[in-house]
Amino acid sequence: MAQPALASIINLTARMGDVGVMERAQAALDDASALIRAEADPEDWIDDSGALEDVPAIVVTVCCKVAQRILANPDGLTSEGIGSYNQSFSNPSSDAYLTKSERRLIRRAAGSSPVGSVELQTPYRRINTEDIYMSVRDGEELPMGPWPSSST
């Protein structure tokens, strides 16, 4: 079963005006939603019944921006001209993609952190440090193992 788009045609129309062919606009929203869900994994903003949960406003915005890029230059033109009129496209690609800042916004909305941890394992044998002392001045011994707990 296909998952519902994270933004609606109404959301897209409010941002870009006329969207042209509705089926093409819906396909662009579906593609944008798939990209967003891949970035936000495991978050998908869908409840157990398959309906959309509260989608964060920033996710709706990003979904519409991606769909707008898909719809703006479907032929992947770099420029076009008629007579003395010329137009250049800043994005000569009709590919669906997320920008670096959009990825960051989506991860934040999904509750994931850019900070992670890695557990390292050593190939060396662990030694018991409780019995290791280091000689310091005047014959005193400094324990190198876990510090003794304070007695209360």
pLDDT band at 4 (very low <50, low <70, confident <90, very high): very high
DSSP state of 22: H
Q: Specify if 64 maps to a domain.
A: yes
The overall average pLDDT reported for the chain is 84
Domain contains 133: no
User: Is 149 inside any structural domain?
Assistant: no
C-alpha 26 chain-centroid distance: 22
Averaged pLDDT for residues 17-35: 94
Query: From CA 123, how far away is CA 7, in angstroms rounded?
Result: 50
DSSP 46: B
**Residue 53 belongs to what domain range?**
9-109
pTM for this predicted structure: 0.67
Residue 49 has phi, psi (to 5 degrees) of: -85, -5
Give the count of domains, the chain.
1
